[in-house]
């Protein structure tokens, strides 16, 4: 099966009513996207979490022309579609219970950088907040860090701008389709981010407007993509508090810059610190030390493992790579003798567990430490 038809069905799956990110993940753990639409209703109904209503919605779906339209839009505008099984999909998101089924990325940025931080905060910052952001990011140069934020007014803008000034790649996560930039005042910033090796990312199809209900969905990507989320100036009920809660829910580190106890713009940060939901952040040096990032960014250590720890499907993939590597995903499927759904599931699990790694062009190889036989 070629990559284009499968992507067509992956896009279509995001359009099915009642099928959100959690349900799509459940389905894709069992079947390839094309298979999902071809399964009998009775088979779909028996999948945990799907049931009669969702199975009926899948079987009733007919708007594949919308998915074809999206493919044309992506090709025309040079946008990468990153489904869950794509090697460029942000691996940190895969550890979340609700990763977007497909992400759309403009720019050649590496979303799996060795170190990723999210920086968010109030729209109406003070000089104190501005200075804290600029000082923090200015001292992270050369640390192999990717800076993520929401391309919004305020602290988000400062985070992206400071990263650009210091030669640090930065990614804007937006709450709309990539046919536009919101707010429109940040079109120049977005263009510069792309030119300087950064990117724009969304889960939303082209034509989607920046409606209010999209922003919490955007915030979960901001939180889930990062190793650490940093909050700089926010009120008790600020949108950044949602991002902090999401990051905590994903078991990510959350840092907050403290402020005066009588300053409402720091009320949220102070509350996060008071309730032990965030670590008090004093500056870049402390961030690097707390995260264990001092010195040159290390490559992740991958311990040697034995093949008896693997399922039969996973062992078939590893064995194929031991004999021939790197391999394109299609050739890897063929050499392992697995169906598309079984092969995709095995590859995803092996990546998550650090056995194999994906590279550009859907090429796969064993991880650095390799795999040994018992």
Q: What is the pLDDT of residues 204-254, one digit of tens each?
A: 999 999 999 999 999 999 999 999 999 999 999 888 999 999 999 999 999
pLDDT confidence bin for 368, thresholds 50/70/90 = low
Residue with tokens 């210091």: 166
Residues 165-213 have pLDDT tens digits of: 999 999 999 999 999 999 999 999 999 999 999 999 999 999 999 999 9
Spell out a b/e string for 72-89, using b for 16 or more CB atoms within 10 Å of the CB, else e: ebbeeeebbbbbbbbbbb
CA–CA separation, 364 vs 357, rounded Å? 6
- Answer with the residue of higher pLDDT: 162 or 313: 162
Residue 5 confidence (pLDDT): 78
**275-292 mean pLDDT:** 96
CA angle 266, 135, 166 (to 5 degrees): 130
pLDDT confidence bin for 329, thresholds 50/70/90 = confident
147, pLDDT greater than 90: yes
As a CATH number, domain 105-291 is 3.40.50.450
Domain 305-372 has CATH 3.40.50.2000: no
Residue 339 confidence (pLDDT): 77
CA–CA separation, 243 vs 230, rounded Å? 10
Residues 55-78 have pLDDT tens digits of: 999 999 999 999 999 999 999 999
CA–CA separation, 133 vs 313, rounded Å? 47
pLDDT confidence bin for 374, thresholds 50/70/90 = very low
330, pLDDT greater than 90: no
Whether the Cβ atoms of residue 362 and residue 329 lie closer than 8 Å to each other: yes
Residue 308 confidence (pLDDT): 44
Q: Which CATH class is domain 3-76?
A: mainly alpha
- Answer with the residue of higher pLDDT: 302 or 177: 177
Q: What residue spans in the chain does CATH classification 3.40.50.450 cover?
A: 105-291
Quote the distance between the C-alpha of residue 179 and its chain's center. Answer: 20
Residue 334 confidence (pLDDT): 80
Residue 83 confidence (pLDDT): 94
Quote the distance between the C-alpha of residue 253 and its chain's center. Answer: 16
CA–CA separation, 214 vs 227, rounded Å? 23
Choice among 45-49, 299-303, 319-323, 353-357 with the minimum mean pLDDT: 299-303
Residue 310 confidence (pLDDT): 80
CA–CA separation, 233 vs 370, rounded Å? 45
pLDDT confidence bin for 361, thresholds 50/70/90 = low
357, pLDDT greater than 70: yes
269, pLDDT greater than 70: yes
**Of 365, 313, 300, the residue nearest 342 (C-alpha):** 313
**29-50 mean pLDDT:** 93
Percent of the chain residues past pLDDT 70, beyond the cut: 92
Q: What residue spans in the chain does CATH classification 1.10.10.10 cover?
A: 305-372
Q: How far is CA 223 from CA 125, 248, 255, in A?
A: 21, 9, 12
Q: What residue spans in the chain does CATH classification 1.10.150 cover?
A: 3-76
CA–CA separation, 324 vs 328, rounded Å? 10
Residues 5-37 have pLDDT tens digits of: 789 999 999 999 999 999 999 999 889 999 999
pLDDT confidence bin for 323, thresholds 50/70/90 = confident
Whole-angstrom distance between the N-terminal and C-terminal Cα of the chain?
34
**Of 46, 58, 51, the residue nearest 17 (C-alpha):** 58
Mean pLDDT (the chain, rounded): 90
288, pLDDT greater than 50: yes
Percent of the chain residues past pLDDT 90, beyond the cut: 74
Residue 360 confidence (pLDDT): 63
């Amino acid at each position: 099966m070629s990559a284009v038809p499968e992507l067509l069905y992956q896009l279509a799956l995001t359009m099915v009513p009642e099928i959100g990110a959690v349900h799509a993940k459940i389905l894709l753990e069992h079947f390839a996207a094309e298979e999902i639409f071809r399964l009998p209703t009775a088979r779909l109904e028996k999948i945990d979490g799907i049931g009669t209503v969702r199975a009926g919605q899948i079987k009733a779906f007919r708007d594949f022309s919308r998915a074809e339209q999206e493919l044309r839009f992506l090709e025309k505008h040079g946008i990468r579609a990153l489904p869950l099984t794509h090697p460029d999909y942000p691996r940190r998101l895969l550890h979340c219970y609700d990763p977007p089924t497909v992400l759309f990325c403009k720019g050649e940025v590496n979303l799996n950088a060795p170190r990723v931080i999210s920086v968010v905060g109030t729209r109406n910052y003070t000089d104190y907040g501005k200075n804290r952001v600029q000082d923090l990011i200015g001292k992270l140069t050369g640390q192999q860090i990717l800076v993520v934020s929401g391309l919004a007014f305020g602290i988000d803008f400062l985070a992206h701008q400071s990263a650009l000034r210091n030669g640090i790649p930065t990614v804007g996560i937006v709450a709309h389709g990539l046919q536009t930039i919101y707010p429109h005042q940040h079109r120049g910033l977005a263009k510069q981010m792309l030119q300087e090796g950064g990117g724009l990312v969304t889960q939303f199809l082209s034509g989607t407007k920046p409606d209010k209900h999209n922003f919490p969905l955007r915030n979960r990507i901001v939180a889930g993509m990062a190793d650490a989320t940093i909050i700089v100036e926010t009120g008790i009920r600020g949108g950044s508090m949602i991002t902090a809660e999401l990051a905590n829910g994903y078991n990510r580190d959350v840092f907050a810059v403290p402020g005066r106890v009588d300053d409402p713009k720091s009320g949220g940060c102070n509350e996060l610190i008071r309730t032990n939901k965030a670590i008090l952040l004093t500056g870049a040096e402390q961030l690097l030390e707390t995260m264990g990032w001092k010195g040159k960014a290390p490559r992740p250590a991958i311990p040697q493992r034995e093949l008896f720890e693997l399922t039969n499907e996973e062992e078939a993939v590893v064995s194929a790579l031991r004999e021939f590597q790197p391999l394109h995903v299609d050739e890897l499927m063929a050499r392992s003798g697995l169906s598309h759904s079984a092969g995709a599931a095995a590859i995803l699990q092996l990546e998550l567990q650090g056995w194999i790694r994906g590279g550009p062009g859907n090429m796969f190889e064993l991880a650095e430490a390799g795999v040994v036989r018992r």
